[in-house]
Structure 1
Amino acid sequence: MRDFDPLRWVHDARAGGYAVAGFNMHNDETTQALLQAAEQAEAPVFLQVGRAVIPHMGVRRAYEMTVRNAADSGARYAIHLDHGSWEEVLEAVRLGFDSIMFDAAHLPLAENIAATRRAVELCHHYGIPVEAELGKIPDVGAPVEWASYYTDVHEAERFVAETGVDLLAISAGVVHGVIPGLEQEPLAVNLIARIAETVPVPLVLHGISGVPDNEIKDAVAHGVHKMNGDTDLRHAFRSGVLQAWESGDRQLEEALDAGRLKMIDAAVAKFHAMGSAGTAGALTGGPR
């Protein structure tokens, strides 16, 4: 079932002590995998149109792909724009996205605030909640001086107050991507807790692929109630495709189906790690 008020989910998650997942789609099979995993785990999911699929097919076609695949799904889902530019936000509003993440984190603080406030005013006019990001998230393997990447607590307080955002994505040790065998920086759970105590809106972590389950649980316990992941699930999909082909010549459809099954298992495991498995039936929310 499509939900047009997914912000309520995140508030339910904060009250219930778990996190809602935001996962990205890349094609029909990965969209189906996320829906089937959410249905199997009885967990809500933000189906995210993100930075990889937009250059590949554009916002409109990615949205249409998601709507088409979800038409007969029993999953509790919402369609979310991830890391959208101003032009993409405009298109997402016209198309009827349920939730939008506007990304101006690359700008200086004052400019980020001004740009984000403009996006919030537009989206709120149509009843669409807005997520935004403060701080920098490095690519995996890059040399990092974490003090310059972490979200500043006082800047977070100002940012939320002056923009009116509904969700705040923070930098607290996460990275974009995963290199197998490379140990990642532990999450800065004390920083998460300080920000959660300071700002009134729920917190989001992007880049949870490669983060151990115990750290995911710590982040939830200290104030994160939406978590975005992609790389771990793509790697699972790829492993299924490769295993199918390694067993001999196979039709492409058979390999894609093997990838879908692997991705379902990986997504279900993430729902359980975040604590959202089994929560879909009790969620509030619904039509705007």
Structure 2
Amino acid sequence: YDITVALHTDHCPKDKLDTYVRPLLDISAERVAKGENPLFQSHMWDGSAETLADNLAIAQELLAKAAAAKIILEVEITPTGGEEDGVSHEINDSLYTTVDDALRTAEALGLGEKGRYLLAASFGNVHGVYKPGNVVLRPDLLKELNDGVAAKYGKPSPFDFVFHGGSGSTAEEIATALENGVVKMNLDTDTQYAFTRPVADHMFKNYDGVLKVDGEVGSKKTYDPRTWGKLAEAGMAGRVTEACEMLRSAGNKLK
């Protein structure tokens, strides 16, 4: 396929760094030193469970290693609600990154001169699924963060943001987030459902074929994973296509 695929590792909390991200960074550094490409294109450091000071101190170390290995670092500086990869946060006012948080991040990590990083700021976004009204998504907050840092450092739109917990967001919310600096959006929950829903539909409609009921032998063609697996793949592909169009990447290439 004529597309660009980037390999990325998602949420890595502090207690997994020594067995996960740090060894991978070392491997990529060795590959780059030999003139090869890094093993991954980006890694995520999730320090949202730590104090901001500790979070940024670790981020500084990881950013230096990532830059040396020609890798982009993703940094989550404040909590995203819900649970993802064992890191859980309540849904409350801490789900909103402040301008002061953004300024401290810029001071610690720079604005590109110390290495490329993506900022997973919090603007009310939540991992997983939630009913309307349980959270207030504020993608306009991203503009406030960028403007606040730009006012001090004189660099327009200084941050490239990541939109975590994007599943279930409206087209308007996504459009506003993109206009305010989002360059990467996660929608794992939506794609999980898109994959599973056609499988469930197949199982319900072919109950007596996928199971050996009342002494019968079922239907091999019906319970063959290649049969319902294709339906699952098509369901996920459709959701990914929809996301690419909504995120304005369809038909475009990285320059």
TM-score by length of structure 1 reads 0.67
The equivalent residue for 2:57 is 114
Instruction: Tell me, yes or no, if structure 1 residue 189 matches structure 2 residue 139.
Output: yes
Q: 1:185, 1:116 → 2: CA distance?
A: 28
Q: 2:241, 2:136 → 1: CA distance?
A: 23
- Cα drift, residue 188 of structure 1: 1.0
In the alignment, which of 224, 243, 251 is matched to residue 270 of structure 1? 243
The equivalent residue for 1:131 is 74
The equivalent residue for 2:117 is 166
Q: 2:22, 2:91 → 1: CA distance?
A: 34
Structure with higher Rg: it is: 2
The equivalent residue for 1:225 is 183
The equivalent residue for 1:256 is 229
Unaligned runs of 5+ in 1: 1-72
In the alignment, which of 101, 104, 114 is matched to residue 155 of structure 1? 101
Unaligned runs of 5+ in 2: 29-38, 84-88, 111-115, 150-157, 211-221
Q: 2:118, 2:163 → 1: CA distance?
A: 10
Determine if contact 1:123/1:129 at 8 Å carries over to the other structure.
yes
Q: 1:116, 1:122 → 2: CA distance?
A: 10
Q: 2:139, 2:22 → 1: CA distance?
A: 35
Q: 1:183, 1:252 → 2: CA distance?
A: 39
AA in 2 matched with 1:163: L
Q: Give percent identity, aligned residues only.
A: 29
Instruction: Tell me, yes or no, if structure 1 residue 91 matches structure 2 residue 23.
Output: yes
The equivalent residue for 1:210 is 168
Determine if contact 1:150/1:172 at 8 Å carries over to the other structure.
yes
AA in 1 matched with 2:97: T
Q: 2:136, 2:238 → 1: CA distance?
A: 25
- Cα drift, residue 143 of structure 1: 6.1
More RCO (CA 8 Å, sep 6+): 1
- Cα drift, residue 123 of structure 1: 1.1
Runs of 4+ in structure 1 deviating by more than 6 angstroms, as ranges, are: none
Q: 1:191, 1:123 → 2: CA distance?
A: 28
Determine if contact 2:11/2:44 at 8 Å carries over to the other structure.
yes
- Cα drift, residue 255 of structure 1: 1.3
Structure 1 residue matching 2:10: 3-state secondary structure: strand
Determine if contact 2:91/2:135 at 8 Å carries over to the other structure.
no
Aligned residue-pair number: 207
Output the aligned Cα RMSD: 1.9
CA deviation map 1:144-200 (0-9, x unaligned): 322x22111111121132124621111101101014x54453421331111122342
CA gap 1:219/1:184 in 2 versus in 1, 3 angstroms: farther
Q: 1:134, 1:77 → 2: CA distance?
A: 26
